[in-house]
Structure 1
Amino acid sequence: MARDSVIAEQTPQARAAASPPRIGVLGLQGDVREHFAALEHCGAEPVNVRRASELDAVDALVLPGGESTAISKLLEVFELLEPLRARLREGMPAFGSCAGMILLASEVLDTRPDAQHLFGIDMTVRRNAFGRQVDSFETDLRFTGLDDGPVRAVFIRAPWVERAGDGVEVLATVPDGPFAGRIVAVRQGTVLATSFHPEVTGDLRVHRMFVDMVRDL
């Protein structure tokens, strides 16, 4: 039987399972290109999301690192804030790195009074918790659920999680030094967040974890 005939006879569920997940990258500001490349290497189909119609067409969304207050303002300008909140309430998987973690929080400390956030994870996040740009640093983290050794984490004006709700799984903390024990990676259901930037290191394991989460739905 020809390959096209086999595909035509598959159920819609089987065809969906055989297709790469369509994962949007919020394309308003920040590390959009780096997340695109990481998702492609993990077998997903990345899609630039700047409009509500584009958000409706994806299976999941990545919120990149950047400047959280600028992104929150652009979410309002592009009329994406409420549609994105609605998709998250409906169970859309999401992954936020650095500024994306801030946006996904239910409460944000040390931010502007007019900054918006998405209530995607029951957590309190402190913005710029590790200091200014000159205080950026790298360290190795043990990351729950990832094999093959520690994750090299790059922190750039990064937040940390001050409070993780009862339904939030802590995936990584700073191992030592003045910030030892600070929470820097969490997951609640199908929403994942890191205060560091896995998109800039070439280590694809965090992105692969997220892509696998989307495939498993």
Structure 2
Amino acid sequence: MRIVLVGPPGAGKGTQAAFLAQNLSIPHISTGDLFRANISQQTELGKLAKSYMDEGNLVPDEVTIAMARDRMEQPDAANGFLLDGFPRNVSQAEALDQALKADGVELDAVLDLEVPEDEVVKRIAGRRICRNESSHVFHVTYSPPKKEGVCDACGGELYQRDDDSEETVRRRLEVYHTQTEPIIDYYRAQGLVVTISALGKVDDVTKRAMEALDRQVEGKDQSDEDKSDSEDGDDK
């Protein structure tokens, strides 16, 4: 199964991607991992991407697309993959379609994780990180520390990262609405989008996602079968 995962920041894409990839036995391919792997391994694409990043510039779409295509062509992705963080805009989505078409394959579904904007702000702006150990993460509403501002695990000071401030979160949402959200309409026109609520327990969201993907694939298979029957009839 070949899937693109979309949703606003704070929708839980990383968490759901990991569970879905495991359940479907396909690799989870995230943009962040692609960049880190290529840069750490000093591939030609990694060196090129780093040259842009070192100058404070955005990495061009063609570099990101080349990294993604190289990863999708690895043996473990032969039976499918789950793309997380790519494509980020319609231009990248069009390029992805062209790359898949050249390889003789196509996407099966685009899973859209839907979360109200106020909930996104609440989820991200409520995070608190331990200064001693960044893996110690709390939330003022969902998982508060026993003592306000103090890490339960080591007693370190809890703080809010600049990236988690409400102002920053709302700016990130604006970027998402402007740049990434349009790909949903792009893929909806192809009949690929399945939208689910990303509210609730992680396991419940995963179950919801798996059921939606199953329905999408069943519907797609039926559509392909009907199309094939119609073409056979035309031939006669």
Greater share of strand = 1
Higher CA-based Rg: 2
TM-score interval, normalised by the smaller of the two chains: 0.3 to 0.5
TM-score (norm 1): 0.36
TM-score (norm 2): 0.33
Greater share of helix = 2
Q: Which has the higher contact order (CA 8 A, sep 6+)?
A: 2
